Structure 1
Amino acid sequence: MIDQQRSTAELDGKIALVTGATKGIGRAIADRLTQAGAVVISTARTKPEDMSVSQHFIAADLTKPDESTQVVNEVNQRFGGLDILVNNMGANTLPAGGFSALTDAHWQEALQVNLLAAVRLDRAFLPRMLSQKSGVIIHISSTSGLFPIWESTMAYSTAKAALNAYSKTLSNEVAPSGVRVMTVSPGLNKTEAMAAFIEQLAERTGVSTEMMTQNLFARLGGVPLGRMAEPEETAELVCFLASPRASYITGANYIVDGGNLPVV
């Protein structure tokens, strides 16, 4: 009972920003941090009607530097900065088909969504974290950054691999000042974005979504647990990493994939 109470309120008084927080993993993370007692600020392009009233929402397209600046200014003016930053925003919405299907604009889009939006927010919020000698930054990456599939994730995988390298180097720089930086790389999660991705592939190849799901599992080498993750399962790890229970953890990339990744 004592451990449960500690876990429920362990982020009391902490200010957290979660990007891409209105759907899927981002929403699950925002809800879990709220449950743990944090004051959660959520940001995405549009606000859903059923969003928790306890979370402060800022509408923004973080691929645009000026809108990122607006988010930073509002957070600093209203909350005085952050204790926890979860860079969850990311997307794999570009054309499938390998190198010949991708233009310069597609590559720029992949980098803006999956890498540079996080870099900008980190750069803006880190000074205060460094001055107070505490803070947590978590980058939500993907196993695609370690297991690219040329047919469908070339630009996305490349951007996520860059995010992984950036996250590690940033952690080495700021750890001596008390700021922890980590990466979480989910595998297949049962989200709206994943459903849309599978539907797109199914339509392109002329098979059912059920068959495409099985084909995707096979292309990845199988998932030993035999299912996709629920977003709440990934959010549970993120909440732990953001908490004092993970005080000696930094610089690591945590794989949440049901045992899929075929390397150690």
Structure 2
Amino acid sequence: MNTLTPIFASSDQDFVLYHNDCNMLLPQFEGKFDLIFADPPYFLSNDGLTIQNGQIVSVNKGEWDRGGEIGEIDSFNLKWISNAKRALKDTGSILISGTYHNIFSLGRVLQKLDFKILNIITWQKTNPPPNFSCRYLTHSTEQIIWARKSQKHKHIFNYEILKKINGDKQMRDVWTFPAITPWEKACGKHPTQKPLPLLVRLILMASNPDSLICDPFSGSSTTGIASNLLGRKFVGIEKELDFIKISKNRKIELQNNLELFKKKISDFRFL
């Protein structure tokens, strides 16, 4: 692998960030990762409006989330998922979050690239924003596609742990979590930040303590915080320096409050 210098590495080397485009770096990690969690652009920044905390606000997240033609979206997803597949071990799997804006493109690309789709997990939000136009149902869910790289190699699945978390019953594919809470935003907020308890469960489900986890669109690095909470090593790739700054501060916050973080996440009661 061509050695590149990370923009940040924690003192324990368990949390490493690169400032770059994931398509530049993923091929250089060929066969290295046990699990990739990706929260790619949803392409929903279309100058529309929504409601947050009772206020009318723009849906725009940034230029990186601007939508394009369906062919452009498919090409974007084909490129980064192809590179992600190269970076996975043969036994590795990928988790990709999305909504109706991009989930169908992601599913087509995964099938085209011969991934084996394992589940589509639905995150049911307990506190979704109301529908501003009153012309549609309230959008209260997001989906996470779980797929393994190989049709023949066995993937990691911690069945017994998830069963224990679920009251000794098989875990289903609909999970209920609130959106991010104020304590998760102490170091700043990413516009598409995912709740830490959701990432903890996903990583617990699909990785082992010695696994190496990657997030190619790491944002404020919720994936990295969840990985480190569970004792996994993390590599994040992010293009925006503002988000890297938030990520660094969140890692420092975690180092100073490790046990407090665990107490805030209910799944840790079963570990």
- TM (norm. structure 2) is 0.32
The answer to which structure has the higher helix fraction is 1
Bigger relative contact order, structure 1 or 2 (CA pairs below 8 A, ≥6 apart): 2
